Amino acid sequence: MAIDLKTNFTGLEFVNPFVLASAPPTESKAKIMKAFEAGWGGVVTKTIGLHPVENVAGPKTIYQRTGEEKPYVSRNKRANTVSHSSWNWELISDQPLEQWLPDLKEIKEAYPDRMVIASIMAGAGSAEEMKNWQTLATSVIGVGCDALELNLSCPHMDRKDMGAHIANDEAVIRSVLKAVKEVVDVPVWVKLTPSTSSFVEAAGVAYDAGADCISLCNTFPSLPLMDPETMKFEVEVDGLVTSGGQGGLAILNQALQKVNSLSKAYPDQAISGIGGIKGFREAFNFIVHGAGNLQVCTAAMEEKGSGGVGIKLIQELTGDLADYLERKGYASIEDFRGIARDRIVEHSKIRRKSEDYNGGYAQSA
Ligand SMILES: Cc1cc2nc3c(=O)[nH]c(=O)nc-3n(C[C@H](O)[C@H](O)[C@H](O)COP(=O)(O)O)c2cc1C
């Protein structure tokens, strides 16, 4: 029996559930075309905005590796190492909306069966910024994009009315979703930051305000390392650095914990899982906690010879998923999606050697 990887997610038909996340792999027409040619089911475009964007005068992303012999984490090249994580301080797309629009139109015309989710970002707290969200939304949907992902999670913003700064503000979440949903009638995904203790509540507000999906996680706030010999950060400009975002394998376990918390709170709502996916095993782990769609960034960027879009990676992901479904006799990922959700319990619910442990309390409540 031929295995079909098609998935319907938030009303969109994906040829397979694997999507390139909003980041360098989806920053240009050429890369997106290449990604679709390789077999990705969809892309979330690099975030598009209307405000001025200028990146730092130095590298925007580094790849950290670790090894067995001396297992320190560093971007420094040395033998016998494996990938640990990416660290970046890259802003959203510096390509203007006017340039994105004809590109997006061409991409959709060339690949009508692949999903193009446009990531957009504007500010908050004024009618003008709500208008900016609306302009971005109508423009990208006008040229054929299938859905939107609202970036409420960028960790690199000085502006307090943007990105991760507004990810927790109930009123802002409602006002942005209202503004966007007033002008377009497509699935709206909302990407949140994992860096707050209240992201589950924020997600609840977003779902309630009409979000069709929460995409989790954006990168985790983090610092690059300082080299003890040079006394320099491994990435810096004029000796200075700022809090940036970590992605890749090193964030996998944390991302799964976030996705599980969200999935337990809203088991019937859609989640696109992101964070450290490098192959089928990581994707599987997001699915068993409830994700119905998988996004990948760092692993695609790191794949040598793929132009940073993960050509071998998507072939492996689809091949390994098909093989798994066939071996297990599953028709689709729906057959095992969410099976681990309720096996994450309070500490005291885990069996002890004796019967009378009450979670640290002297007596049971
Ligand atoms: C260099 C770089 C740039 C990124 N730019 C964006 C962006 O513009 N918008 C966005 O929503 N996420 C952005 N991200 C976050 C990724 O989409 C993704 O959420 C994160 O890297 C975790 O996935 P990973 O572990 O597969 O890398 C960026 C990540 C990297 C490494």
pLDDT reported for residue 1: 58
Domain boundaries, the chain: 7-54+93-226+255-349
- 23 CA distance to ligand 1 middle (Å): 5
Render pLDDT for 39-98 as a digit per residue (tens, 0 to 9): 999 999 999 999 999 999 999 999 999 999 888 999 998 999 999 999 999 999 999 999
Contacts 24+ apart (CB under 8 A), 360-364: none
More confident residue, 168 or 360: 360
Mean pLDDT of 266-295: 98
User: Ligand 1: which atom is nearest the Cα of residue 248?
Assistant: 25
Render pLDDT for 114-146 as a digit per residue (tens, 0 to 9): 999 999 999 999 999 999 999 999 999 999 999
Render pLDDT for 286-311 as a digit per residue (tens, 0 to 9): 999 999 999 999 999 999 999 999 99
Q: Is the whole-model pTM more than 0.95?
A: yes
Mean pLDDT of 351-363: 86
**Which segment of 40-44, 109-113, 192-196, 310-314 scores lowest on mean pLDDT?**
192-196
Render pLDDT for 3-31 as a digit per residue (tens, 0 to 9): 889 999 999 999 999 999 999 999 999 99
The CA angle 67-70-73, to the nearest 5 degrees, is: 60
Is the confidence at residue 365, as pLDDT, over 70? Answer: no
- 132 CA distance to ligand 1 middle (Å): 22
Is the confidence at residue 332, as pLDDT, over 90? Answer: yes
pLDDT reported for residue 275: 98
More confident residue, 167 or 42: 42
Q: What are 45's two structure tokens? A: 């475009």
**Over the range 103-115, which residues count as b (16 or more CB within 10 Å of their CB) and which as e?**
bbbebbeebeebb
Catalytic residue among 154, 213, 217, 297: 154
pLDDT reported for residue 354: 87
Nearest CA to ligand 1 atom 6: 23
- 7 CA distance to ligand 1 middle (Å): 23
Nearest CA to ligand 1 atom 5: 23
Q: What are 13's two structure tokens? A: 């038909």
Distances (CA, A) of 98 to 15, 92, 136, 266: 29, 15, 10, 38
pLDDT reported for residue 120: 98
Which residues form ligand 1's pocket by a CB distance below 6 Å?
Answer: 21-24, 46-47, 61, 86, 88, 90, 92, 119, 151, 153-154, 191, 218-219, 247-248, 251, 274-277, 296-299
Render pLDDT for 213-251 as a digit per residue (tens, 0 to 9): 999 999 999 999 999 999 999 999 999 999 999 999 999
Whether 40 contacts 26, CB under 8 Å: no
pLDDT reported for residue 358: 83
- 191 CA distance to ligand 1 middle (Å): 11
Residue with tokens 């320099």: 232
The mean pLDDT of the chain is 96
* CB-count burial class (<10 Å; 0-12, 13-18, 19+) for 333: buried
Active site residue 154: yes
Whether 312 contacts 306, CB under 8 Å: yes
How far is Cα 62 from Cα 75, in angstroms, rounded to an integer? 7
The share of the chain scoring above pLDDT 90, in percent, equals: 87
- Identify the CA nearest to 82 among candidates 90, 74, 91: 74
Is the confidence at residue 111, as pLDDT, over 70? Answer: yes
- 3 CA distance to ligand 1 middle (Å): 30
How far is Cα 108 from Cα 129, in angstroms, rounded to an integer? 28
Is the confidence at residue 364, as pLDDT, over 80? Answer: no
User: Ligand 1: which atom is nearest the Cα of residue 275?
Assistant: 25
Q: Determine the residue of 258, 297, 298, 302 to mutate for testing ligand 1's pocket, defined as the one with the most ligand atoms within 8 A of the Cβ atom.
A: 297
Question: Three-state secondary structure along the chain?
Answer: CCCCCCEEECCEEECCCEEECCCHHHCCHHHHHHHHHHCCCEEECCCEECCCCCCCCCCCEEEEEEECCCCCCECCCCCCEEEEEEEECCCCCCCCHHHHHHHHHHHHHHCCCCEEEEEEECCCCCHHHHHHHHHHHHHHHHCCCCEEEEEECCCCCCCCCCHHHHCCCHHHHHHHHHHHHHHCCCCEEEEECCCCCCHHHHHHHHHHCCCCEEEECCCEEECCCECCCCCCECCCECCECCCEEEECHHHHHHHHHHHHHHHHHCCCCEEEEECCCCCHHHHHHHHHCCCCEEEECHHHHHCCCCCCCCHHHHHHHHHHHHHHHHHHCCCCHHHCCCCCHHHCCCHHHCCCCCCCCECCECCCC
pLDDT reported for residue 70: 87
How far is Cα 176 from Cα 133, in angstroms, rounded to an integer? 7
Mean pLDDT of 259-265: 98
> CATH top-level class for 7-54+93-226+255-349?
alpha beta
Q: Determine the residue of 85, 191, 218 to mutate for testing ligand 1's pocket, defined as the one with the most ligand atoms within 8 A of the Cβ atom.
A: 218
